[in-house]
Structure 1
Amino acid sequence: MNRVLVIAGTDSSGGAGLSRDTAMATTLGCEVVPVVTAVTVQTNQALQAIHPVPPQIISAQIRAAFDDKRTAPRAVKIGMIGSAEAARHLADTLPEGLPIVLDPVLKSSSGGTLMSLDSLTPLLRRVTLLTPNLEESARLSGLTPMLRNTENQCISTQEPPQDDLVLFRRQAQIIQAKGVAAVLIKGGHADGDCSVDHLFSPQAPQGHRAYAAPRLPLQKRGTGCSLATALACSLAAGASLDQACTEAKAAVSAWLAQ
């Protein structure tokens, strides 16, 4: 069984964070090696309190996870970090050569602020794939978010209107200039019948690939955690970035449809 190092906070509601990461990984036949960055007090409606784990303890957890080479994780998923100091410790402690998926959780889906933009900076040069939603991509790039999707039919080769694609590409370029290898801009917060994620990577044809799925008439917490964990599980199994994005999109869609 492939093992994935998941660095994230706990969520007392069970809707996101390490609980959701573990549930998705288990569904995919992948084992989670957890590293706790913070203990949060949350309900489905509100973030009530955060207790950060000291950065030195975060680093110690990571070193312990890789102590036995025979059972060492084969990929890393990072969610909530908590502080710039913790991010620096992660950048210094994580082994080289592993695929790292970073879900830039700037705030919780229940409304509380979890991370600042500055807290991401030390990690970006280590990241294989960054997975911002539309609002996060706008904040990280400094460009206005595009929250509309005008297509009426969802097909696997879905492309956004040209103006939207130009904006997404520019956002990705600005983020990649900060050191990130690839960016997957998630379209779950847009409108329309189709949820389309956009991968910008040197590995993609012409640097871009879109992944579409029908938009479901429901809201669930933990979608970002689930997608990033599914991506890490696929990468741990040796999938290409394109294959990992395809598999992760399908896994999250299946979970939402349950």
Structure 2
Amino acid sequence: MNAAPPRILVIAGSDSGGGAGIQADIKTITMLGGYAMTAITALTAQDTRGVHAVEPASPAMVAAQIDACLADIGADAIKIGMLGSADVAALVADRLEAVRVPIVFDPVMVATSGGVLADAATIAGFERLMALATLTTPNVAERDALGGAAALDARGIAWLAKGGDAAGATVTDTLHVPGQGPRSWSAARVHTLHTHGTGCTLASAIATGLGGGLPLADAIERARAFVRAALAAAPGLGGGNGPLGHAAVRDQALGLPSS
């Protein structure tokens, strides 16, 4: 009998274009051998060019999805992405206070295309989630909106400073863990326009690693390698920032030709 896959619950918004959000999360978790479950926080009308409309789910509906997944199947790790409203952010924090599995929080505020996905009240609600999370994964803009590196360190949380949005030919991601020195990973930038969903993919990949029992640094290292391979395999879809090549990474791992 095969070993059970790590069960990963994703609490995030849906991307109708399939490049980011819940859709990227499911692809990533599946490609890395996990079992994906979802609590959808918002619907978006979104493509590679931008976010055209957002409709948040009610807190009661988000709660019902979380409860259904945890009560029946259970979870080995949880990934939090777009929350859609301050009320949903508070509800998610309430539901997860007693959950004892790794939590990866990607504090989504703005889509790759530039669409705003969190207002000031929602961002203010991130404080409880950062305190609950095993790891918070802000990009450069999100880090600044949360007060900067010094403020994040002062919170006493573990966080990963993602460097993909920073300028330069090298991308550096730096892990900050209370009581430990920073640990960085650097690699040459994968030059491509098609970066839609990189943050979602990285956070879900880390959550899948943690859910499968990997130590935090190893989960980050594997997730970075997965994202870089998916960037290199991007299929070039859409007229803007296109999606990553999640399926091509699976094909490479299996020794199959990419379509």
TM-score range, shorter chain: 0.7 to 0.9
**Residue in structure 1 matching 2:78, options 76, 79, 84:** 76
* 1:93 corresponds to: 95
Residues 107-186 of structure 1 aligned to structure 2 (within 5 Å): 107-116=110-119, 117-141=123-147, 143=148, 171=149, 173-178=150-155, 181-186=157-162
- Tell me the SS of whatever aligns to 1:198: strand
User: 2:64 and 2:125 mapped to 1: Cα distance?
Assistant: 19
Verify the 8 A CA contact 1:185 1:198 in the aligned structure 2.
Answer: yes
Q: Which moved more, 1:96-105 or 1:110-119?
A: 110-119
The Cα shift of 1:176 comes to 4.0
Structure 2 equivalent of residue 213 of structure 1 = 187
SS across alignment from 2:125: helix
The Cα offsets for residues 159-200 of structure 1, whole Å up to 9 and x where unpaired, read as xxxxxxxxxxxx1x4124346x20100000122222110000
After the TM superposition, list the runs of 4 or more consecutive aligned residues in structure 1 that deviate by more than 4 angstroms: none
> Percent identity between the aligned chains?
42
On the 8 A contact 1:81/1:119 being kept in 2, the answer is no
Separation of aligned partners in 2, 1:207 and 1:99: 21
Q: May I ask how many residue pairs the two structures share in their alignment?
A: 224
What is the CA–CA distance in structure 2 between the aligned matches of 1:30 and 1:37, rounded to whole Å? 21
- Alignment match, 1:30: 34
Q: Distance in 2 between matches of 1:106 and 1:225?
A: 12
Contact 2:153–2:176 (CA under 8 A) maintained in structure 1: no
Partner of 2:170: 194
Please point out which of 101, 104, 107 is paired with 1:104.
107
Instruction: Provide the residue aligned with 2:70 in structure 1.
Output: 66
Deviation at 1:122, TM superposition (A): 3.1
Cα deviation digits, residues 71-91 of structure 1 (max 9, x gap): 311000000001111111101
CA deviation string 1:58-110 (max 9, x = no partner): 11111111112xx3110000000011111111011124211111111111112
Is the Cα–Cα contact under 8 Å of residues 78 and 101 in structure 2 kept in the other structure? yes
1:156 corresponds to: none
C-alpha contact 1:4 1:232 (8 A) present in aligned 2: yes
Q: For residues 41-56 of structure 1, what are the structure 2 equivalents within 5 Å?
A: 41-56=45-60
Provide the C-alpha distance between the structure 2 equivalents of 1:191 and 1:47, rounded to a whole number of angstroms. 24
Runs of 5+ unmatched residues, structure 1:
144-170
1:176 and 1:81 map into 2 onto residues whose CA distance is 23
8 Å CA contact retained: 1:213, 1:253 = no
